[in-house]
């Protein structure tokens, strides 16, 4: 009898420190470097919501702890940090990988160590083919292409031109668009590119002007698309211009100025949070995220931050449903996510679909009078 009490006490003593140990969320983001535009709002979002969750009592009776590193857009750095997160910091879940290159470098590590990894990067290759431990929150570049092609056809365009930059996001989206254009009945009659840091794209655009197309798609990221947009108007082009979700931000609109009027792009509902109809299932989530983020950081909310929010909340939700932080249970719970409403859309995951969004999660937006408007 005495031994039984002794053993129970010992077991309790061992369990207690575990209960006091925080749940570690590991993040590797491009806070500095060429993709700082992605990583900065992502980091801010994760910090803000870990704080809020802790203030509301934490998760499963434990506090959350965010361990975040800056991989500066470098795949090798990302690899190193993921190793550090897994081996040294011993995190329970990974949320991060702002760019596809960084994510893909981390995938083999997450798979080998069996740690659930929610990526914040765009390319479809992350979840296709499906990898057991890898999930993602942002819409894929292929979805963006499809959304745009559907809209082009609706406006009667069947011949289009593609112009893209040299970065990973640009090239990946360009490859996907070339692949799916035919399926949607759109012929890509011109395919031009520009370099990083280029200051003028009128040469490429005049080639496009001469190719006799009915619409132009700019798959780009950063300041390139803004220069393309300005050059577009400079050359007097009036054909429909589509941008990618990579520039779904007020910054693109303010940089391009009047030239952006009439430009369309696919984006998450977060950008038009205030003008969404009340009946929209995402309205509550996006309005509250927008309000919290802008109040704390005095900065315009961004879809990239929204993806980080979704990543964190999906992980938290999965842990709650699994009732533990045991990695395989969390992974199974993530895969079983149904009807989760995030800033990117309504998420329904499955064993074959580790992203869970469909084309309706993307909204087609148009720039009108310097602000975003939903295209019905």
Nearer to another protein, 22 or 80 (CB): 80
Nearer to another protein, 44 or 363 (CB): 44
Residue 13 binds to another protein (criterion: CB under 8 A): no
Residue 194's Cβ-count burial label (10 Å; 0-12, 13-18, 19+) is buried
Which of 21, 54, 202, 214: binder of another protein (CB under 8 A)?
202
Residue 132 binds to another protein (criterion: CB under 8 A): no
Q: Which residue, chain included where needed, has tokens 């998760």? A: 59
- Residues 73 and 35: beta-carbon distance below 8 Å: yes
- Residues 369 and 359: beta-carbon distance below 8 Å: no
Nearer to another protein, 57 or 236 (CB): 236
For 333-351, give the DSSP string.
HHHT--SEE-SS-EE---S
Residue 65 binds to another protein (criterion: CB under 8 A): no
- Residues 267 and 365: beta-carbon distance below 8 Å: yes
Q: How far is CA 60 from CA 27, 63, 159, 246, 351, in A?
A: 20, 8, 55, 36, 26
- Residues 38 and 120: beta-carbon distance below 8 Å: yes
Please list every residue from 96 through 115 that binds another protein, using CB under 8 A: 99-101, 104-105, 108
Number of residues that bind another protein (CB under 8 A): 63
Q: Is the peptide bond before 306 cis (omega within 30 degrees of 0)?
A: no
Nearer to another protein, 59 or 253 (CB): 253
Nearer to another protein, 254 or 288 (CB): 254
Nearer to another protein, 81 or 289 (CB): 81
Residue 1 binds to another protein (criterion: CB under 8 A): no
Residue 51 binds to another protein (criterion: CB under 8 A): no
Work out the angle between the directed axes of helices 303-322 and 327-335 (0-180°, nearest 10): 120
Residue 27 binds to another protein (criterion: CB under 8 A): no
Nearer to another protein, 67 or 347 (CB): 67
Residue 370 binds to another protein (criterion: CB under 8 A): no
Residue 248 binds to another protein (criterion: CB under 8 A): no
Nearer to another protein, 29 or 318 (CB): 29
Nearer to another protein, 200 or 359 (CB): 200
CB of 210 to another protein, least distance (A): 6
- Residues 192 and 163: beta-carbon distance below 8 Å: yes
Residue 135 binds to another protein (criterion: CB under 8 A): no
For 158-210, give the DSSP string.
-EEEEEE-SSHHHHHHHHHHHHHTGGGT-EEEEEEE--TT----HHHHHHHHT
Site string for another protein, 203-222 (x = CB under 8 A): xx-xx--x-----------x
Which part of the chain contacts another protein (CB under 8 A), choosing from 230-238, 322-330, 334-342, 362-370? Answer: 230-238
Q: How far is CA 6 from CA 3, 13, 17, 130, 224, in A?
A: 5, 10, 18, 48, 69
CB of 84 to another protein, least distance (A): 4
Which of 138, 167, 246, 306: binder of another protein (CB under 8 A)?
167
347 contacts: CB under 8 Å, gap ≥ 6: 137, 310, 314, 337, 339, 340, 341, 355, 356, 357
CB of 208 to another protein, least distance (A): 10
Neighbours of 281 (CB within 10 A): 12
Binding site for another protein (CB under 8 A): 31-32, 34, 36-37, 40, 69-70, 74-77, 79-81, 83-84, 87-88, 99-101, 104-105, 108, 123, 125, 166-168, 170-172, 175, 192-204, 206-207, 210, 222-223, 226-227, 230, 234-236, 251, 254-255, 257-258
């Amino acid at each position: 009898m005495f031994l039984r009490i002794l053993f129970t006490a010992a077991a309790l003593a061992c369990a207690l420190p575990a209960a006091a140990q925080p749940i570690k969320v590991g993040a590797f983001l491009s806070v500095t470097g060429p993709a700082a535009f992605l990583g900065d709002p992502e980091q801010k979002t994760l910090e803000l919501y870990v704080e809020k969750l802790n203030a509301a009592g934490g998760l499963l009776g434990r506090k959350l702890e965010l361990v975040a590193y800056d991989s500066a857009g470098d795949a090798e750095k990302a690899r190193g940090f993921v190793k550090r997160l897994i081996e040294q910091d011993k995190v329970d879940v990974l949320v991060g990988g702002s760019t596809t290159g960084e994510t893909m470098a981390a995938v083999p590590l997450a798979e080998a160590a069996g740690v659930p990894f929610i990526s914040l990067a765009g390319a479809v290759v992350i979840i296709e083919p499906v990898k057991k431990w890898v999930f993602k929150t942002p819409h894929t570049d292929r979805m963006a292409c499809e959304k745009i092609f559907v809209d082009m056809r609706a406006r009667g365009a069947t011949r289009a031109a593609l112009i893209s930059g040299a970065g990973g996001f640009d090239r990946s989206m360009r490859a996907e668009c070339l692949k799916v254009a035919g399926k949607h009945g759109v012929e890509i009659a011109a395919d031009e590119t520009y370099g990083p840091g280029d200051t003028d794209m009128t040469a490429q655009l005049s080639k496009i002007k001469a190719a006799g197309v009915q619409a132009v798609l700019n798959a780009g990221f950063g300041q390139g698309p803004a220069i393309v947009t300005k050059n577009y108007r400079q050359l007097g082009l009036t054909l429909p211009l589509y941008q990618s979700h990579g520039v779904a931000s007020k910054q693109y609109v303010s940089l391009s100025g009047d030239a952006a009027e009439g430009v369309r792009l696919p984006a998450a509902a977060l950008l038009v949070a205030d003008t969404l109809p009340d009946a929209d299932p995402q309205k509550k989530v996006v309005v509250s995220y927008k309000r919290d983020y802008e109040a704390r950081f005095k900065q315009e909310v961004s879809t990239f931050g929204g993806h980080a929010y979704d990543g964190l909340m999906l992980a938290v939700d999965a842990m709650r449903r699994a009732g533990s932080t045991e990695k395989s249970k969390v992974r199974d719970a993530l895969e079983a996510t149904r009807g989760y409403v995030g800033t990117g859309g309504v998420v329904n995951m499955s064993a074959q679909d580790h992203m869970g969004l469909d084309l309706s999660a993307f909204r087609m937006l148009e720039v009108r009078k310097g602000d975003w408007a939903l295209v019905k």
